[in-house]
Structure 1
């Protein structure tokens, strides 16, 4: 099997065995490797080429940057590019489903699916399900961020002010 090597613009065989060591990595080390990888991609090619269908990161494409393959699996949202560890892999899948649903909801309704009085800006799954944009209610609570309609699983800080 042959694929295109984005770094040398030469054909390489992907079924050739590589003797990369197994290494322990942090999310920050993976994030840095993905940035390096992304900086080397040709125009019009996105980092989502690193993400398998199950949201697992394909480290065979990053091993040359990292100097090895991770001892644990990592996952990435194709919609928000957030990174997740093995025990958070459900979040990677759910954020993609909910972000797509929120984007479609905004396109159809010119508003975000959040309750107007909610200071946390929690995504209203009932509304998304009523509009048939989500089939089931996600296990993870997502929040609308201040970044151009993007969602996050991180609960925002609500700063209270005394009057």
Structure 2
């Protein structure tokens, strides 16, 4: 019987990462994947990103949590973890409303294209109302929480 000695690989080092580093790692991951696989494969059930799958791009393992919207692909740090949940919830409602009516659910007389949550809720498209405004962009009617997007 022949026994081979395997060199034990060193465990990846623990690191602290920034939001821009995670965004870059996610882009690199997606670029390295076959065409039909996108970055949403990195998402866990709670919308957090599985950073262990990005170790080779980040240069180590981070215990931090970052979150991503499945609908808009926008990435957030721990302090903004509720934003991707509401982006996905409302984006789905806006898409369904638009598909059914051909209209965008916008607040009338609002200075920005703000989503009319009460309209969506009253029509049963939205089950939960976000605690912050969301806006519809011109880019494929995707949502954003950033009002500065329109300046």
Structure 2 length as normaliser, TM-score?
0.88
Say which structure is richer in helix: 2
Gaps of 5+ in 2: 1-8
Aligned residue pairs, count: 143
Residues 158 and 98 from structure 1, CA distance in 2 versus in 1: closer, same or farther, beyond 3 angstroms?
closer
1:93-137 CA-to-partner distances (Å, cap 9, x unmatched) read 111101111111110111111024222111100011011111121
Q: Are the counterparts in 2 of residues 33 and 62 from structure 1 also a CA contact under 8 Å?
A: yes
The two structures, once aligned, show a CA RMSD in angstroms of 1.7
C-alpha distance in structure 2 between counterparts of 1:125 and 1:30, whole Å:
31
In structure 2, what is the Cα distance between the partners aligned to 1:59 and 1:75? 10
Instruction: Tell me the equivalent position of 2:111.
Output: 119
- Where does 1:11-160 land on structure 2 (aligned, <5 Å)? 19-156=11-148
Task: Report the CA distance shift for 1:28/1:157 in structure 2 as closer, same or farther (over 3 A).
Answer: closer
Computing the radius of gyration from Cα coordinates, the structure with the larger value is 2
Report the equivalent of 1:6.
none
C-alpha displacement of 1:26 = 1.3
How far apart are the structure 2 equivalents of 1:27 and 1:20? 20
From the two aligned structures, give the one with the greater strand fraction: 1
- Note the residue ranges of structure 1 that are not aligned, 5 or more in a row: 1-16
Q: Residue 110 of structure 2: SS of its match in structure 1?
A: coil
2:52–2:62: 8 Å Cα contact kept in structure 1?
Answer: no
Aligned to 1:11: none
